[in-house]
Amino acid sequence: MKESDAKSLASYGGPESCACSRKTASEALTGVHMGGVLSRENRCNQGADDVELCGRQHVGTRNGECTSNPARSETSSTCGNFMRENREIPCSPSVDGTGGRTEKVHDRKSVMYEHGKSDSPILPAKSLNNAGKPVAEAVEGRGLTKENARQQNTCRTQGRESVSSALDRIRQAAIRNRKQKFSALFHHVTEERLKDAFRKIERKASPGTDGVTWAQYEADLDNNIRDLHSRLRRGAYRAKPSRRAYIPKPDGRMRPLGIAALEEKVVQRAVNEVLNAIYEVDFLGFSYGFRPGRQAHTALDALAIGIRFKKISWILDADIRGYFDSISHDWMIRFLEHRIEDQRMLRLIRKWLKAGVIEDGEWKASEEGCPQGSSISPLLANIYLHYVLDLWVQQWRQRHARGDVIIVRWADDFVVGFQYQDDAERFKEQLGERLRRFSLELHPEKTRLIRFGRFARRD
């Protein structure tokens, strides 16, 4: 793709407020017709029982959200604070009058690849209203500081609190400036973070090509982590190839997985934790796959609410053929460079992409693709589709859609709803062209456009 192609994406906007409202047990909801779907908004002066449904059709521009660079991402702006998460369509409201959120931020699991919980930056809790009940909005835990995000915490002992505080400063810097490039991230991969990542690995997981098990590594953990950290700092760390394994898919075919070596899992988890502090700010609300605090049923709830409150008559159920094996390494690095300027971090990711796999005792080079099953691959896959798909969909529905358009994406599977048939057909055709520019293609057997008759009368 030419350089101009990468700059074709327009800015994308967030919801605006309007007048219709009703009472129910949920947080505030708002929506934008053309190019928008429902969005969880936070109201500073309302309780958990207040809900506002509103929208404005054919919104051309939005204040403060214009950008000329397509690969730079800005989440949809909201009327209130969005410290807890950026969500485009909220979960279904609960019956008891509390918020509709079903997962705790501190209880995070990678749905497909890993079993351990991931650490997270310090997140503020909800405050209480006059009646002693939690208010709907998430509040700022503390004011933004002017410290450089690249500075390490000054605590004498590098404990869990100081490690989380360092990530919080990265996240705050990413929020303050959505175009900032981070040039000093590698030093956040500390011994404490590596040790914490090791403890979150499944103890009974199959060993990789090195044959080292969790118990063997834990026997001399302090020295092993110290040696690993030293090799990372000196640039002597060498990425090991993954061991190829296959698991059956529902359609009878076999899904290839790459089982990483134990130290690969440790380092990838630590790096994943650092990068998440940046990209969780950038990712859009309709992206749900393999993100902290977001589960599959949350995406289904979002889709159900989007269909309920929008005029959806056509559904495009899409899947990308062999997505993880088709990711372009060159484009992956170019997308990462829009936010990461730390060459040591980029070199480390290149090592993982080029490490290759061992199958039947034979090493095979990896010219493209990202090993499905490694700890870092879900994040890299989301970053790739964030620039290839998400930002493009956001600008398409703002500029080209005649009616309502909603989307919910889980990794490489996504569902797009349309009000009008011509919108759906034009989108599908242009989507195929867009994906081919980045070495991807729609799966012809799993991609279909169907009529959703419930809202046919509202066209």
* Of 316, 311, 314, 323, nearest in space to 428 by CA: 316
How many percent of the chain have pLDDT more than 70?
Answer: 63
Cα 124 from Cα 276, distance rounded (Å): 17
pLDDT of residue 164: 73
Q: Considering the chain, what is the average pLDDT of its residues?
A: 73
Q: Name the pLDDT band for 283 (thresholds 50, 70, 90).
A: very high
pLDDT higher than threshold 50 for residue 90:
no
Q: How many helices (H) and strands (E) does the chain have?
A: 13, 12
* Most distant CA pair in the chain, distance: 69
Give the distance from CA 428 to its chain's centroid: 23
pLDDT of residue 274: 96
Q: Name the pLDDT band for 345 (thresholds 50, 70, 90).
A: very high
Cα 415 from Cα 317, distance rounded (Å): 5
38-55 pLDDT, tens per residue?
333 333 333 322 223 333
pLDDT of residue 113: 40
pLDDT higher than threshold 60 for residue 286:
yes
CB distance 97 to 25 below 8 Å: yes
Highest mean pLDDT among 62-71, 283-292, 445-454: 283-292
95-109 pLDDT, tens per residue?
444 444 334 333 434
pLDDT higher than threshold 60 for residue 67:
no
The residue ranking higher by pLDDT, 393 or 255, is 393
Residue type at 188 in one-letter notation: H
pLDDT of residue 453: 66
Give the distance from CA 79 to its chain's centroid: 22
Residue indicated by tokens 């918020």: 99
422-442 pLDDT, tens per residue?
999 999 999 999 999 999 999
pLDDT higher than threshold 60 for residue 89:
no
| Cross-strand bridge partners of residue 40 | 29
CB distance 306 to 299 below 8 Å: no
Strands 362-364 and 357-359, sheet pairing = antiparallel
Cα 245 from Cα 132, distance rounded (Å): 53
pTM (predicted TM-score): 0.67
* Of 326, 195, 356, 357, nearest in space to 273 by CA: 195
Which phi and psi (to 5°) does residue 413 adopt?
-105, 130
Highest mean pLDDT among 26-30, 165-169, 399-403: 399-403
User: Worst-scoring range by mean pLDDT, 78-87, 166-175, 266-275?
Assistant: 78-87
Q: Please, what's the b/e burial string for 346-371 (b: 16 or more CB within 10 A of its CB; e: otherwise)? A: bebbeebbebbbbbeeeeeebeebbb
Residue type at 69 in one-letter notation: N
C-beta pairs of 60-64 under 8 Å, 24+ apart in sequence = 61/13, 62/11, 62/13, 62/14, 62/16
227-237 pLDDT, tens per residue?
999 999 999 99
440 class by beta-carbon count within 10 Å (0-12 exposed, 13-18 middle, 19+ buried): buried
Which phi and psi (to 5°) does residue 288 adopt?
-120, -20
CB distance 176 to 144 below 8 Å: yes
List of residues 6+ apart from 243 with CB closer than 8 A: 206, 208, 209, 258, 259, 357, 358
Q: Please, what's the b/e burial string for 189-218 (b: 16 or more CB within 10 A of its CB; e: otherwise)? A: bbbbbbbbbbebbeeebebbbeeeebeebe
Give the distance from CA 326 to its chain's centroid: 19
CB distance 427 to 418 below 8 Å: yes
List of residues 6+ apart from 88 with CB closer than 8 A: 37, 38, 39, 76, 284, 285, 286, 302
173-232 pLDDT, tens per residue?
999 999 999 999 999 999 999 999 999 999 988 888 888 999 999 999 999 999 999 999
Q: Name the pLDDT band for 161 (thresholds 50, 70, 90).
A: low
CB atoms closer than 10 angstroms to residue 96: 7
pLDDT higher than threshold 80 for residue 333:
yes
- In three-state secondary structure terms, 264 is helix
Cα 271 from Cα 193, distance rounded (Å): 9
List of residues 6+ apart from 327 with CB closer than 8 A: 368, 369, 370, 380, 381, 384, 439
